[in-house]
Amino acid sequence: MFVRTPAELGAVLRDRRKKLKLDQSTFAKRIGVSRQWVIEVEHGHARAELGLILRALDALDIRLDASTEQTPARGVTRPAVDINAIVAKARKKKA
């Protein structure tokens, strides 16, 4: 499962928590946050703290893998060749 948005991550957390038969209260205590926090995160709260999120994932034995592979359809940053030229240009432009 690939995670791109806070909502997706929230869904992952919720599914996994339910699979482990944990209720929000126990889960919250286990990772050291309030139940309120669990609720909001599971609902896709975008401004949750990174550290707490990682703790939550860890508590549910979810591994996060960061890879640099390309999703062809999303071709946004695809320079690949003349980076030097771009840099030089940026240097001149004095952004």
Q: What is the binding site for DNA (CB under 7 A)?
A: 18, 23-25, 32-37, 39-40, 42-43, 45, 47-49, 52, 90-91, 94
Site for its own copies contains 85 (CB under 8 A): no
Residue 40 to residues 6, 65, 87: CA-CA distances in angstroms? Answer: 10, 24, 42
Cα–Cα distance measured from residue 3 to residue 12, given in angstroms and rounded to the nearest whole number: 9
Cα–Cα distance measured from residue 31 to residue 74, given in angstroms and rounded to the nearest whole number: 35
Pattern 28-57, binding to its own copies, x per CB under 8 A?
Answer: -----------------xxxxxxx-xx--x
Looking at residue 82, its amino acid is D
Residues that bind its own copies (CB under 8 A): 1-6, 9, 12, 16, 20-21, 26, 45-51, 53-54, 57-71, 74, 76-77, 83, 86-87, 90, 95
